[in-house]
Structure 1
Amino acid sequence: MRGLIQRVQFANVQVNGEIVGEIGEGLLLLLGVEKDDDQAKADKLLEKVLKYRVFSDQDGKMNLGLKDTGGGLLVVSQFTLVAETRKGLRPSFSSGASPEHGEKMYDYFVGRAHSLHHDVATGSFGADMKVSLLNDGPVTFNLEV
């Protein structure tokens, strides 16, 4: 399971011109699911996302996680995040989850996020989405479990 987090001042996701998920300050998480991912990996990644220290403390050091700041979390499914890009000029998605497994793991991840954090928004799994954000920093990290 892979997650690309971006510290944002705001972010939203639209489907067919309608905003389906939106947050203020917080983290945008692009979530990629691989075929061998399970609930344990989802739990581990979620814990990392909520606690990863990317927000500044009173001294300007990145020492605070999302749980510390209370910011929003926008979770957007991102199949292309699991692409193999080391060889050639065309991405391979052989390690990616099937749509059924991907949606199951995405739904599990989002459900757990809602149970552990107060401000969670989402995109729509499998939809053609338009994501808008203002990256703060910019601060972007690739997380893998």
Structure 2
Amino acid sequence: MKLVIQRVTNASVEVEGEITGQIEEGLMVLVGFGQTDTEKEVDYLARKLTKLRIFPDEEGRMNRSVKDIGGKLLLVPQFTLYGRTKKNRPSFHKALAPNEATKLFDYFVEKCSEEVPCETGVFGAFMKVSLLNNGPVTILLEKEFED
């Protein structure tokens, strides 16, 4: 499972001319699932994401989480995070199949929503994502468990 996290002043997702998700201060997160991902990876990264301290405290140090600041998450499904670029045309064979990835994405949204208000993109749709990166601060989180 891979997350690309961007600290934002605002962000939105548009599908077919309609806004499907929109936040003010918070985190815009691209979410991708690999073939071996399960709820175990989702549980771990949902906890990590909502507790990740990348917002400034009173002294300007990154010491506050999205939950601490009363922010929101904009979660955007993004299978292309598993694109392999050995050749010039990306291959996506390491991405989880759409029907299974949809279930894990919905589960991820559910787990994150237990801690922080969430908005989302639309799984499988062509989305236009807009954001104003705050910092800029961009973090990559990945997790794979070996059983």
Answer yes or no: is the 8 Å Cα contact 2:67–2:115 preserved in 1: no
Matching residue of 1:95:
94
Cα distance in 2 between the residues matched to 1:44 and 1:81: 18
- The Cα RMSD (Å) is 0.9
Identify the range of structure 1 (98-107 vs 61-70) with the bigger mean alpha-carbon deviation.
61-70
Matching residue of 2:48:
48
Following superposition, the deviation at residue 8 of structure 1 comes to 0.2
Matching residue of 2:132:
134
Matching residue of 1:5:
5
Answer yes or no: is the 8 Å Cα contact 2:47–2:112 preserved in 1: no
- Structure 1 residues without counterparts, runs of 5 or longer: none
1:60 aligns with 2:60: yes
Cα distance in 2 between the residues matched to 1:114 and 1:142: 20
- Structure 2 residues without counterparts, runs of 5 or longer: none
Following superposition, the deviation at residue 138 of structure 1 comes to 0.7
Give the SS at the match of 2:89.
coil
Summarize the alignment of residues 18-33 of structure 1 with structure 2, pairs less than 5 Å apart.
Answer: 18-33=18-33
1:26 partner letter: G
Following superposition, the deviation at residue 115 of structure 1 comes to 2.1
Cα distance in 2 between the residues matched to 1:45 and 1:89: 31
| CA deviation vs aligned residue, 1:39-60 (integer Å, no higher than 9, x gap) | 0100111111111111001110
Following superposition, the deviation at residue 84 of structure 1 comes to 2.0
Matching residue of 2:103:
104
Give the SS at the match of 2:68.
helix
Give the SS at the match of 2:114.
helix
